[in-house]
Amino acid sequence: MRLEVFALTALLIGCATVPPPTPVRVSTDAFLTQRGVLTIRGRQFPLTGYLALSEHDGIRLIMTHTLGQVLADVLIKPDGAMHVMRPSPVLRREWIERFVAADLRRFAESGTLTFRDRHHTLELRTVETKPGPQPASLFEVPR
């Protein structure tokens, strides 16, 4: 009887494991500077993003606020593994992992510059592109 209840509960609830990260494909090596407007619940926040792209090493985003305060520093490796490189005093780690990394993955996959979901809207404009290989040190995961 206990085994049947456990099996039924497991079927109804589902597996608690997290699916493996989706691999990220980057088709170029470049350093992009982007300006953006993040809208949350009708409030707008101007942002600047510094985005390093490497076909072999992944994607690194450093997102800053108007006065240069770092809001998010995220690294996504080619295998899809995501690392918050430096915690932000403004944005919670969970928010960075859930929203910033998701938008970053979508940007890498499609090059889309506008992201919308029920929680936020992010509109980006690339203002500078420096093509070429990026330093490997930008993509090293801290210990």
How do strand 82-84 and strand 114-116 relate by DSSP bridges? Answer: unpaired
pLDDT over 80 (residue 11): no
pLDDT over 90 (residue 29): yes
pLDDT over 60 (residue 41): yes
- Note the pLDDT of residue 110: 83
Q: What is the DSSP string of 18-74?
A: PPPPPP------EEEEEEEEEEETTEEEEEEEEEEEETTTEEEEEEEETTS-EEEEE
- Note the pLDDT of residue 9: 36
In this prediction, residue 3 has a pLDDT band, given cuts at 50, 70 and 90, of very low
For 112-138, how does the pLDDT look when each residue is reduced to its tens digit (9 = 90+)?
A: 889 898 888 999 999 999 999 999 999
